[in-house]
Amino acid sequence: MGLNLIMLGPPGAGKGTQAERFARARGIPRISTGDMLREAVKAGTSVGLRAKAIMESGALVSDDVIIEIVRERLANKDAAAGFVLDGFPRTVAQAQALDAMINGGDPLIVVDIVVPEVELVRRLGSRMVCKDCGTNANAGTSPDSACQRCGGRLEQRADDDVSVVRERLKVYHRSTEPLVEYYRTRPTFRTVDGAQPQDQVAADLAAAIESAGRVGASR
């Protein structure tokens, strides 16, 4: 049975780090919205060209374009044994479209990584990102350190100013939190305390996914 997993959580919850770590351990692709957009644009598909035009105009990519990009990405052979979605779905409409895509397939496991807002603000305010490749540095990394992936210079993310962070969290609560309510009643929905050290979060995440997977397999 394949493993279809969604990681939910606010900015700074660590879902990207945990998604990449879990996907690597299980040998399935971690698929992020940003990755999917870049791949579609690079491949020059019809939907990729639409997305490129929208992004170059400075507008947000609409649900229908994102949904079509996800549909194309999940049709790739490497996703046949499962996937970890990071950054999708972001709206209930996207979640409903995903349900339709995998209808009749392997069950969908949803994990919400929960972190208190005061901790999110602290994390995001001190988060460093590589100027060259865009990789987020691990929490607590010194600004003088080099990027672990490419050796590039680290800098604070432009969107991690405290006032910007608080606004991003407001947007999350308003537009993305309804997803938690959409999925909460499913037997394959789990929550994990993301305020713990990374290794403990990873262990709790693996246990939650195993538990949800057993429930999904019995249905």
- Does 214 participate in catalysis according to the annotation? no
- Does 170 participate in catalysis according to the annotation? no
Buried b (16+ CB within 10 A) or exposed e, 175-195: ebeebeebbeeeebbbbbebb
- Catalytic residue (choose from 26, 122, 153, 157): 157
Contact by Cβ (8 Å): 219, 107: yes
- Catalytic residue (choose from 21, 50, 123, 127): 127
- Does 127 participate in catalysis according to the annotation? yes
- Does 166 participate in catalysis according to the annotation? no
Q: Which two tokens stand for residue 153?
A: 């210079």
Please name every residue paired with 189 in a beta bridge, in sequence order, or none if there are none.
Answer: 110
- Catalytic residue (choose from 30, 50, 168, 190): 168
- Catalytic residue (choose from 90, 153, 166, 186): 90
Residue 3: exposure state from Cβ atoms within 10 A (0-12, 13-18, ≥19): buried
- Does 157 participate in catalysis according to the annotation? yes
The residue written with tokens 């970890």 in the block is 84
- Catalytic residue (choose from 15, 21, 30, 73): 15
Q: Which residues are catalytic?
A: 15, 90, 127, 157, 168
